[in-house]
Chains A and B, each alone.
Chain A
Amino acid sequence: MLVIDDLRIRQGAFWLNADASIPAGRRVVIMGPSGAGKSTLVAALAGFVTPDSGRMTWQGQALDGMPPATRPIAMLFQDGNLFPHLNVAQNIALGFGRGAKPSPQNQDQIGAALAQVGLTGFENRKPASLSGGEQSRVAVARVLVMERPILVLDEPFAALGPAMRIEMLALVRKILDQTGATLLMVSHDPADAHAIAEDLILVADGRAVLLPDAQAVLADPPPALATYLG
């Protein structure tokens, strides 16, 4: 269970209050108008932003104060998920932590992860020689080797075309089926929620609240969500 308990985050004059309890393994899409604080919420979860009050726990263990890299979270950002000077294998190997040289066993894991995302044999390619979709797949492969129980996606596929986004969502779903990880995905596209969400978090008017049973909620949205969906 991921518990966000009365969290208050301030950024300048902007406040966000968040409350949510998410059972392990659930797939949650975070929706809301731009500028409402979706990215701020996941940044707080991942440890990039320090909340002013409240608590976050995972399986009963407090996350507050932990450095980002030691939290049980693997995160993909909107852009810049790969280092352009490192090849695909080196980028993935960073998922093993602290930039250490990967062991032979790690090398096998990298090969397996690449096979899972459909990029077998791409080890020595540089990001600049890959398409946008392939770059996203490499980032997902690194998430695989990190083996974290929570996956946070901050609109990493926003720059991809519609067909490619559907493909990437299918890949994410496949990986979640395999690993049983909990998903928190920021999106501004209701289609994403239709495709993958079990629950929704609506971020609007300075509040983030959990709306369980995403598909039912989407079919008959409460007023705040209806305003956003239009």
Chain B
Amino acid sequence: MADRAQPLSGRSGTVIAIALAVAVAVTFAAVAGRAEATVGLSAADWAAIRFTLMQALASAFISTALAIPVARALARRSFVGRNAIITLLGAPFILPVVVAVMALLSVFGRNGGFNHAMVWAGFEPFQIYGAHGVVIAHVFFNLPLATRLLLQGWFSIPSERFRLAAQLGFGPAEIWRVIEFPMLARFAPGAFAVILSICVTSFAVALTLGGGPRATTIELAIYQAFRFDFDLGRAALLGLIQITMTLAIVIAALGLSRQDGFGGGLDRPLTIWGVNGVGPRVLDGVAITSVVLGLLVPLASYFGHALPGVLRLPEAVWWAAAASVSVALASTALTISLALPIAVRAALGRGTAVELAGLVGLVASPLVIGTGLFIMINPWIDPATLALPVTVVVNALMALPFAARVLIPAVRDCLASYGRLGVSLGLTGMAFVRVVLLPRLAGRLGFCAGLAAALSMGDLGVVVLFADPETATLPLQMARLMGAYRMEDAASAGLLLTFLSFGAFALFDGLGRRYAGD
């Protein structure tokens, strides 16, 4: 029996998925073809591999472990500002990496408040640059993400379970052992793996806080081979290693995790009986307060001293901002036009291969893709002339997996509810897309567009390989200012970048919500 109740064929999604897979494969092949395996790996390369793995494991472990008490506190406590905190936990995801680094520097840097206090108390000043700085920055980003992922775990527990626990007179220890720990055994490995796969391709954090023999990631090593030695063969070899490592981790992460941390329904706390003693309450209060302060203090201290300089920013920063806005808009348009057909195809339920194509962005690190594109473009034209277009394309690829994951369930719902009605009224193909799909998906599309725009706006990745001194996006301009020790200008540029990133997200998300309001 053939079911013909579907108004869309998903053919364009297949074409796009195949084209993407081929394009990425060709890029990888270009990298592989240029890799000089005969040279072998130097001691510095081995150090980079070791450090990449170690910092990713440490960041993922610390983020996940610290997220457990925070998520539990948010799950079971009801208080004013709880929803604001949950929203705040979503913010680091679209906070530009260079901005977060500057915020941490404003507290833990040489002149930061933390070090003033340390010196005042008679201790040695704390040094944020180096391996532990990289891990601190990763935890700053990923602890909130881990908290949201684990919070979904708590909300996946049926409320009857807690009622039964109350009936049986369970205290905090029994609830932990019988209900919460088994849930975490399912959810924590997923959160750990997601963060591991994010940290293993870390570039911007390593570029700004790491470096040197003991804090260089593979991504950073690729950049250095490129920029300082112009050794394409070594860059390509490192790229191959990076691909292999990321692929292994992402496949493991996919097996462990099916959630994305964007889900709703977290706005009403659970009712858990038997945990209202003084001990658990103090524990929860400490967990929530530390995380909020850990997020807000660096950001507030940074914004405070960055604000006055915004109006005195050098002209080059404004040009870089204009470039970033254009890149973000173009890459957002590209993300949505790739993600929607892929989501339709995936929602029709034929083949996880399509979902995998959307995940290409997770496997392919920007620097590896960039290396491949550079190798292919270089013989024909000056890669610098294509710096911004390449950034548009690579940023779209990076946002694609997130967009696809948000859109697929929404497209599936829409087809299930309105597919037959559409077909019976002759709404098929583009007519269905225009009359039904786009209006029904407006809210999700706005969210995805906001995500893509903010991620692209704040990204410091492939552009570093291609840009000449005259071209820069705003994050790159910031990194250059930091490299030139013009920290005041860098800080103010970062504030502008934050406004642009969150502004772009709020604009698209708001448009989607307004259009979806029915």
- Give the interface of A toward B (CB within 8 A): 9-11, 43, 46-50, 52, 67-70, 75, 77, 80-81, 83-86, 94-95, 97-99, 126, 128
Contacts and interface: CB of A to CB of B under 8 A. Distances in A.
A77 B427 contact: no
Contacts of A11: 1
A11 B434 CA distance: 32
B1 A98 contact: no
Contacts of A49: 1-4
Given A80-B418, A85-B518, A94 B425 contact: yes
13 contacts: A49-B2, A49-B3, A50-B1, A50-B4, A67-B426, A68-B4, A69-B426, A80-B420, A85-B518, A94-B425, A94-B427, A98-B431, A99-B427
B417 A46 contact: no
Interface in B408-427: 417-418, 420-421, 423-427
B435 interface: yes
Given A69-B425, A81-B421, A85-B439, A126 B1 contact: no
Interface string B483-518: 000000000000000000000000000000000101
A48 B418 contact: no
Contact of B436 (A46, A47, A83): A83
B300 interface: no
B444 interface: no
B518 A128 contact: yes
A81 B134 CA distance: 55
Contacts of A85: 439-440, 516, 518
A97 B435 CA distance: 12
A94 B3 CA distance: 23
B518 A126 contact: yes
B4 A47 contact: yes
Sorted from nearest, which 8 A-B pairs have the closest CB atoms? A69-B426, A99-B435, A99-B431, A85-B439, A50-B2, A85-B518, A48-B5, A94-B425
Interface in B1-50: 1-5
Given A49-B3, A52-B1, A83-B436, A98 B427 contact: yes
B439 to A, nearest CB: 4
B153 to A, nearest CB: 32
Contacts of B427: 69, 94, 98-99
A126 B426 CA distance: 22
Given A49-B2, A80-B417, A81-B421, 18 more contacts: A9-B1, A10-B1, A43-B5, A48-B424, A49-B1, A52-B1, A67-B4, A67-B428, A69-B426, A69-B427, A83-B418, A83-B421, A84-B518, A94-B425, A99-B425, A99-B426, A99-B431, A128-B518
Q: Which of B431, B439, B518 has the largest number of chain A CB atoms within 10 A? A: B518
A83 B418 CA distance: 7
Most buried by A among B2, B4, B431, B439: B4
A83 B422 CA distance: 9
Q: Which residue, B3, B4, B424, B431, has most C-beta atoms of chain A within 10 A? A: B424
B425 A95 contact: yes
A67 B435 CA distance: 19
A77 B418 CA distance: 11
Interface string B162-197: 000000000000000000000000000000000000
A50 B436 CA distance: 25
B421 A77 contact: yes
B7 to A, nearest CB: 10
Contact of B425 (A97, A126, A128): A97
Nearest to B429: A98
Nearest to A11: B1
B421 A70 contact: no
Given A84-B518, A85-B440, A98-B431, A48 B420 contact: yes
A47 B427 CA distance: 14
Contacts of A81: 421
Nearest to B518: A85
Contacts of B439: 83, 85-86
